[in-house]
Amino acid sequence: MVRSVTLHVAGQKLSIRTDASDAELTELVQEVTNRVRDVQSASMTATQAKVFLLTALSLADELRQARAELARVRDAVTLHAQGALSFTDSDAPT
């Protein structure tokens, strides 16, 4: 069920509508807040907007890498499944 919630992310108040559970939201808020703090500590002079953008870019890059890895795994599974099916087909009585 979609509901309205107010989140506190990296010191910022954010009101959203979501169907995510409290546990999911807590995990997301903690992850983003930790990432923002990491970027802040690495670039002490960056404005808050730049810190948030750098955090978003970092998360987007991580997502891109995860998607690429998922595609590689899917390809490997497909290749192995096709090999297994070929092996099974070649053992079938004629």
- Total domains in the chain come to 1
Cα-based distances in Å from 68 to 27, 32, 35, 57, 62: 24, 22, 22, 16, 10
Q: Cα(94)–Cα(90) distance, rounded to whole angstroms?
A: 9
- pLDDT, tens only, 28-83: 999 999 999 999 999 889 999 999 999 999 999 999 999 999 999 999 999 999 88
Name the residue range of residue 40's domain.
Answer: 3-91
**How would residue 24 be classed by pLDDT, with cut points 50, 70 and 90?**
very high
| Nearest one of 15, 47, 13 to 33, comparing CA atoms | 13
The per-residue pLDDT for 94 is: 56
Q: Give the pLDDT confidence score for residue 44 in this predicted structure.
A: 85
